[in-house]
Amino acid sequence: MTPVQLVSLDDVRRQQHSLTWNDPVDLPSGLKPVAAFDPEFLPRNIAPWVCDISDRMQCPPDFVAVSALTALGSAVGRKVGIRPQQQTDWLEVPNFWGCIVGRPGAMKSPAMAEALKPLQRLEADARKANEAAQLTFAIEIEAYKLRKQHAQQKAKGAIDRGEDISRLLSIDEPQAPKARRFIVNDCTYEALGEILADNPTGVLASRDELISLLKTLDREEYAAARGFFLTAWNGTSGYTFDRIMRGRTHIEAACVSLLGSTQPGRIAEYMQRAVAGGAGDDGLIQRFGFLVWPDQCPEWKDVDRYPDSEARQLAWQAFERLSEFSPLAAGAELDNFESIPFLRFDPSAHHLFSEWREALERRLRSGELHPALESHLSKYRKLVPGLALINHLTDNGSGLVDEMATLRAISFAEYLETHAQRAYAAGSEAEAAAAAAILRRIRKSDLTDGFSARDIRQRDWSNLTDKNQIQAGLTLLIDCDWIAAEHVNTGGRPKTVYRINPRISQ
């Protein structure tokens, strides 16, 4: 319906009423439905605590659950892994990436903060212990200096006597205590690299606005940082920083758990690029297996009561236990080819996992999934066994990972898939949001017949700040017959302007 021809701007306005316009079609709207959260997904030792936080805050339990499970996984890190098969050396460690999506005011940040409090306390305790160790180290280093000076003086006389001085000078220098870290807010990869060098079991990086970080990593000059994060998701691969001024820093294995939040509009815009095969389509966003985008409950009640102390104590004890967890004492195995101790599934759990994985692999090879969603679901090969391991350990399990822990992991993954489908489908929602925003401006006469995309960008309107997003919105409006595009001859480079369907006001 849209003629594309070179005309003058005056011709555009004269021809406004000469075009034959169709009735405009309603813009697409609505998010994909998602499964509701079930406390049965969680280990018994944290489920009451998660529900208590959700009830007192009147926020979705999904927010608290994902934050808590991500934090529990980081407390274990590389101390122990799981080998999902009975005989191979395929190994996964339970570091997870979580993203919670909700509108402003949906209590995303408070929910995250409350779920991370056990880690914050472990961090504070470790900081106090390190301060005490630093005082002891200061005394030891002074004593070392005195012993060294004394040995050097004695060595001078020994040299004169022709004696061997190697024994005199063999004085071990005390090593500075390394600060144990659990949670960091500085998500620059240089800072994470320095911290991981002293914390080989891994840390949790918390970021309030996650999409800002992902957009930064999309930029060409941050390619090295993006590569680091892609590696750190595995939790088992080494990484070396080479710096001209600061030398080389080697990390035995980069293991980062990542947790953040964002708003629907921001993730929809980012997903649009990932689905389209843009800069976000190298598997980074697909690594957020704990991605939840729940519906906001329309009901609210005023809850003013003390926290459930018994539930909180049970959960916090689980964090403390996992932070000091001894894999070998819990029945983990070691072999000559892997430095990480590991557990395996018991026979019934292995049968359950194998059936689930067979169904997953068939879906991944069916060709029926969008490539972006297919990539996302393929990461469940790590998510499900890692989650089963955390379920098992959180509930005081030892030895082989049992069937109940595995069933919880598989059920949670099925729930998570519905949220992933919502998120990836939201790419088209970003187009609809931009189109709706442009349409509102037309109806308010902020945009008049013959407007250009530049007219929109200059206004800095909500949902209309990104060039690609604006263009996607305009294209959708054209497809739905709300506007038509005309190429205007300006004497130089042709300019595209947009004609407004006169039926828009009817």
CA 382 to chain centroid: 15
pLDDT of residue 279: 47
Which backbone phi and psi does 163 adopt, to 5 degrees?
-90, 160
Cα–Cα distance, 335 to 341 (Å, whole number): 8
Beta-sheet pairing, 97-101 with 483-488: unpaired
Element at 488 (helix H, strand E): strand 483-488
Using alpha carbons, select from 374, 356, 349, 372 the residue that is nearest to residue 364. Answer: 374
In 415-451, which positions are buried (b, 16+ CB within 10 angstroms) versus exposed (e)? bbbbbbbbbbbbbbbbbbbbbbbbbebbeeeebeebb
DSSP states along 260-298: EEE-HHHHHHHHHHHHTTSTT-SSSGGG--EEE-PPPPS
Q: Is 235 left (phi over 0), alpha (psi -120 to 50) or beta?
A: left
Residues in the chain predicted with pLDDT less than 70, given as ranges, are 1-19, 29, 242-247, 277-282, 428-430, 490-491, 505-506
pLDDT of residue 226: 92
DSSP states along 91-116: -B----EEEEE--TTSSHHHHHHHHT
Are 202 and 180 within 8 A, CB to CB? no
DSSP states along 163-229: ---HHHH--PPPPPPPPP-SEES---HHHHHHHHHH-TT-EEEEEEEHHHHHHHHHSGGGHHHHHHH
| pTM reported for the whole predicted model | 0.81
Burial of 240: CB neighbours in 10 Å, binned 0-12, 13-18, 19+: exposed
- Return the sign of the alpha-carbon dihedral for residues 493, 437, 260, 390: negative
Cα–Cα distance, 127 to 139 (Å, whole number): 19
Cα–Cα distance, 257 to 77 (Å, whole number): 8
Cα–Cα distance, 82 to 382 (Å, whole number): 10
DSSP states along 239-256: EEEEETTTEEEEESS--E
What lies within 8 Å, CB to CB, of 299 at 6+ separation is none
Q: Which residues pair with 291 in a beta bridge?
A: 99
Are 483 and 501 within 8 A, CB to CB? yes
In 187-197, which positions are buried (b, 16+ CB within 10 angstroms) versus exposed (e)? bebeebbbbbb
Cα–Cα distance, 390 to 379 (Å, whole number): 17
Cα–Cα distance, 84 to 82 (Å, whole number): 6
pLDDT of residue 461: 85
Structural domains of the chain, ranges and CATH numbers in brackets: 6-25+444-505 (1.10.10), 39-124+266-418 (no CATH)
